[in-house]
Structure 1
Amino acid sequence: MHAAQIWSSRKLKLLGCAISWHGDDENGTLQDDTLLIAVDGHIFNDDELKTGATTGTANIVAALYREHGFEETMRRLNCDAAIALYDKITETLWLGRDRVGARPVYYAQGKDVLAFGSRASALRAAPGVRPEVNRRFAALFAGAHYRFFDNRPEDSPYEGVSQLPAGSILRADASGVRLEKYWDLEDLPLFEEPREVLAEQYRDLLVDAVARRHRAFKNPAFTLSGGMDSSSVISSAVRVSGKKQHAFSSVYSDSTFDERDEIATILDDVAEEWHPIRVDEFDLMATLSGMIQANDEPVATATWLSHYLLAGQVSEMGFDALFGGLGGDELNAGEYEYFFYHFADLRQAGRLPELEGEIVAWVQHHDHPIHTKFRDVAFSVMDHVTDPDKPGIVRPDMDRMTRYYPAINRDFYDLASFEVIFDHPFKSWMRNRTYQDLRRETTPCCLRAEDRQTQAFGMINCDPFLDYRLIEFMFRVPGDMKIRDGVTKRLLREAMDGILPDETRNRIAKTGWNAPAHVWFSGGPNYEALRDTLASRAFRERGIYDLDAVDTLLDEHTRIVRSGAARENHMMFFWQLLNLEVWLSEMEAV
């Protein structure tokens, strides 16, 4: 954790634990006769805790711990924080991570040492810790879909380093080291209140989540795309502050990815000033190097290159926080694949006329030249990703998972041996799909990139949709209030009535925060840099890839993109390949 103050600026030997922790600032650390505390992050419900602590996150944690113990302290906090606490009286070390994992915590057990910190790479030097790369991590990054990178929340990029999962605590004392969850989503009954009532409750929760985060910073900025999520966040901030905000957007010369026209519909209502950050001409390899140094590991998708460039510009203008809409897709069934899980829930409930109507509306609103949509596709995909005989059992999309397995050298790691873990705490397919996204798929890798890239530029990331109160609330909202008439995010659209402009609120077409990486890998200097990487001795001797398969994929990718054919290209594969190779090369150079 990066900050100005370290406990006594030295390593302390406590019960065989090597502690070297940088708190977020001087208010995030505490040392007295009985406790050592460091907090990386922010507490947003300090007004509700009644601890008597007047300043500092560490003081709040100390007061709560003395009265309630560590586990109950974590439960009482609405925070985006990682916390370390050493109790000198009981000789116990506690580590805690916020409910969604906004702030990272890694730990490693070596020879008579327990080391922990925000960066996994820093722990490799601890005595007795295995420093080599985790081959499963490397192989998944090389040849699997990004959704599966975080399927093991306890994994890190290194063999001897573990990650503390979100919503968990670690306790270390003379009896050993133990991990346990302090928070999880319960299978509670769905709400039965009318849609109008739930929309009002949703609006109040979201506005409050934004307000609590907005007041924590002196000079926040906001990412803004053409979609509902980021627009809802910045509009809520305008509502609670009474002031328009600074908005930043990635823009492109490629109209397929550019959302300037959609963004323009909201600017008059929310933006004190709009800052379009053009992402077109840049040195890909130099930018990747900076990104990977900031992230301390390879980065999941090309979207985060746009975010990295944007964050650098935001920081240069003096802002201290960057708000975004992460979590909105997961909570509101905003991704296209949620349709199939909603369809499965309707079929299981015997609501067949409604199912047929939803499929017709889905085809009408979301047909695509590559991913053609019609009734048979809906049922085929539904049966592919759900088990119709077992309510709630979600099947992994193995076609997506295994597409590039043949390009990975089985002598390095046999990806066929990797078993995807799916959690099924609910009887609803959509709820289980959402749970998987929050815990093991989309959310962890996105939060990691947001945290590290904003921190690298001296800022904090804020995602109000991931306030745990909103998560718990939305898990009790019926599926037909999220998807109806072929349109996603229905309850959010209703909740934002009067806050968002109708043109934004009612927009169905979705571009998303993507990047034209397919072009980067099909011509020009970035393409040549990729070719040079594939021809390098280091890459070819590493033994991770089947080299002939990689060459074939690049030739095919180039033909597809240059021809303009309506076919899937291999952009994601080569983005992951370059990230992995740059990361490995830079580790070797240290």
Structure 2
Amino acid sequence: MLAAALPPGQIWRTASHDSGNAGVGWTGWREADCAELGGDIAAADGFVYNGDELGVAGVSTAFAILTLFQRHGFEGALAKINGDFAVAVYDAKEVVLWLGTDRVLTRPLYYTQTRDSFLFASQPRSLLSVPGVSRAPNREFVALFGGSHYRTVDNAIHDSPFAALRRLPAAHALRVSKGVAREVCYWRLTDAPDHTEPEATLAEQYRALLLDATARRFAAADKPAFTLSGGMDSSSVLACAVKNTGRKLPAISVGYVDRTYDESDEVQAMLEPTVSIWHKLTVDKPDVFGTIEKMVAVQDEPVVTATWLSHYMMSEEASRLGYGALFGGLGGDELNAGEYEHFWHFFADLKTGGHLAQLGLEVEMWAANHDHPIFKKSSAIMEQNLPRLADLSVPGRCLPDRLRIERYADALDLGFFDLRKYTPVMDHPFRSYLKNRTYQDMMRETIPCCLRAEDRHTVSFGMDNFVPFFDHRLIEFMFRVPGTMKFRDGVSKHLLREAMAGVLPEETRTRFKKAGWNAPAHIWFTTTAREPLRDMIASRKFRERGIFNLKEIERLLVEHEAIVADQQRVDNHMMFFWQLVNVELWLRSIEAMPT
């Protein structure tokens, strides 16, 4: 299993410990993280950031968690840790195996059972290498990835891309005894009252928390660099690290020859005050299919958006430059309501709360600030779409975006899967629509796949990944901040902007136009990747899978090429074809696995 975990072409360290009938193993590019204490054994992937507070500073993550386990029990230990980790502990006295994940699943953990064994691993490939473990793909996963929006693929929090493998959800402990597994959730957000302190006080508290979250992770990092886009989130993390250390720090960005998603100009304001050396990786005409094949080999699954091709290339470049860690702003959108769609749920809170004058002002400013030739903004559009996305009769109940889920329903063969019958789980722990929407993103939609991509890309190139916004203290704090402090005058991330006064350059702090970190795959699929895409769709292997409606696929491809060639002001199909290519190359990689 350890040998199977190695990324292609890598030579890693390995270690293992046995106790009775149990064994734990570790493989990676750094010092092995296995531990033994009083007959109990542990293996861990990740970091404990508050070891100084818990009396376990200066030791490995596995040894720290094993020590805390013997003091507080497994669930008690995990609840005390501020960290990013996946961990396995074997209690020799009780003959119990424990598995645990951190609060947002920065490190995934999978498990399965055979007739005589219980098996677990950080990546599917280790489990799939065991005789008797089926490699059959999860049919629903294939359908959702191939034909729906990427936000659906992690909705079932226990499922994995493989039918035989289960995934341990975020903030969960799994107890295995005598072949019986039982899950326990050791941390969850509750519908606590909103903070009532003045905005200036909350901004100070927010700044202090983000500075500390960044400092704790910086202390664990070796030769770090900071990913930098034109947005608030990555810029805030970099600026906090600069303020903590009192010195400028290295940053790396991705730019594009095609200017649609290029943010090189927006990055400029950060360079002089915060950046010691700026590395810009310019992407023009990448080998899309070849790079996806490499990414799938690292990920053990298809990769959700074209953004991650750029991240993969950036990770490779950062490693080549000698960096040992990457910091990023992932999580900033979820904590600060930074996605465009979060406006809808803020509006729902205002409408159902009876704040109609404020609603009118915010909608007016939303339209003025963010109107788009394709994605129009107006009061009429708000009124038309709000009942589709929020059940206004049940406080806080968000609805699935059926238009998004079913946009490509006709592209799937109905004999394989009918997207119109698919209903995602929509969590409802809060009475606020906005809180439920951002919680949904964090636990079931945008974040799980992004965390896996960041983790696996960096690890495959011998680096660590750090996401300060996902410090659980920040999560708990921000889910008690009212929506009116996240949105103000049609601009999102209001409290973060206030918190970063004097930390960020004003040009960055006050900029509200959001390109979003994306990649010009619409161009790639009509130029360098056009013929490989057409060859794939025409291939016998693709056509005989029975997954797709081939006539609809061909229609969409012709339509996509026309939209791009004629620069039509309608949404193109680049995300659909990105997912189609990924799922097909992933299926081929499974078929090519050694027996």
Which aligned pairs between 1:281-292 and structure 2 lie closer than 5 A?
281-292=285-296
The counterpart of 1:173, out of the listed 168, 171, 177, is 177
**CA–CA separation in structure 2 for the residues paired with 1:435 and 1:473:** 13
SS of the equivalent of 1:42 reads: strand
Superposed CA deviations along residues 293-339 of structure 1, whole A, max 9, x for unmatched, are 11111000010001000110000011111000000001001011111
Equivalent AA in structure 1 for residue 415 of structure 2? D
Paired AA for residue 232 in structure 1:
S
Match of residue 204 from structure 2: 200
2:152 corresponds to which of 148, 157, 177: 148
Equivalent residue, structure 1, for 2:538: 535
Query: Is 1:570 paired with 2:573?
Result: yes
Return the offset for 1:372.
Answer: 1.2
Matched, 1:585 2:594: no
How far did 1:150 drift?
0.4
Alpha-carbon distance in 2 for matches of 1:460, 1:495:
27
Aligned to 1:554: 557
TM-score computed with the length of structure 2 as normaliser: 0.96
Q: Determine if the alignment matches structure 1 residue 4 to structure 2 residue 9.
A: no
Q: Say which SS state the counterpart of residue 497 (structure 1) adopts.
A: coil
Match of 1:494 among 498, 510, 517: 498
Within a 5 Å distance, the mapping from 1:300-449 to structure 2 comes to: 300-449=304-453
1:13-66 CA-to-partner distances (Å, cap 9, x unmatched) read 855x67544367446211244111111001111111024x64222221122111
Rate the CA distance shift 1:194–1:32 in 2: closer, same or farther, 3 A: closer
Match of 1:480 in 2: 484
Aligned residues of 1:113 and 1:127 also touching (Cα < 8 A): no
Q: How many aligned positions are there?
A: 584
Q: Distance in 1 between matches of 2:221 and 2:124?
A: 28
DSSP 3-state at the match of 2:27: coil
Q: Aligned pair 1:46/2:51, yes or no?
A: yes
SS at match of 1:199: helix
Cα deviation 1:419-460 (Å, max 9, x = unaligned): 210000110000000110010000101101101111111111
Residue 30 in 1 paired to residue 35 in 2? yes
Deviation for aligned residue 1:461: 0.9
Secondary structure of the corresponding residue to residue 5 of structure 1:
strand
**Aligned partner (choices 199, 209, 229) of residue 213 of structure 2:** 209
Q: Confirm or deny: 8 A CA contact 2:405 2:419 kept in the other structure.
A: no
Match of 1:221 among 199, 202, 225: 225
Contact 2:174–2:184, Cα closer than 8 Å, also in 1: yes
Q: How does 1:448-487 map to 2 (within 5 A)?
A: 448-487=452-491
1:326 and 1:315 map into 2 onto residues whose CA distance is 20
1:516 matched to 2:524? The reply is no
Deviations 1:169-226 (A, max 9, x none): 1110126110111111011100000000000000000000000000112200110000
Q: Does 1:130 align with 2:134?
A: yes
Q: 1:93 aligns with which of 94, 97, 119?
A: 97
Deviates further, 407-416 or 98-107: 407-416
TM-superposed deviation, 1:249 = 0.6
How far, CA to CA, are the matches of 1:547 and 1:343 in structure 2? 40
Task: Find the aligned partners of 1:137 and 1:14 in 2 and give their Cα distance.
Answer: 37
Query: Which secondary structure does the structure 2 equivalent of 1:258 belong to?
Result: coil
**SS of the residue 2:48 aligns to:** coil
Rounded to whole Å, the distance in 2 between the matches of 1:473 and 1:292 is 36
1:81 is paired with a residue whose SS is strand
Map of 2:9 onto structure 1: none
1:76 aligns with 2:85: no
Whether 1:67 and 2:76 are equivalent positions in the alignment is: no
What do residues 83-119 of structure 1 show as CA deviations (whole Å, max 9, x unaligned)? Answer: 0011111111000001000001000111111110011
Q: Which amino acid aligns with 1:570?
A: H
Contact 1:5-1:22 within 8 A present in 2 as well: yes
- Call closer, same or farther: CA 1:19–1:413 in 2, change over 3 Å: farther
Structure 2 portions without partners, runs of 5+: 7-11
Give me the CA root mean square deviation: 1.4
Secondary structure of 2:532's match? helix
Amino acid at match of 1:329: D
Q: Percent identity?
A: 49
Separation in 2 of the partners of 1:429 and 1:382?
11
Structure 1 unaligned runs (5+)?
none
- Secondary structure of the 1:178 match is strand
* Distance change >3 Å, CA 301–CA 340, structure 1 → 2: same
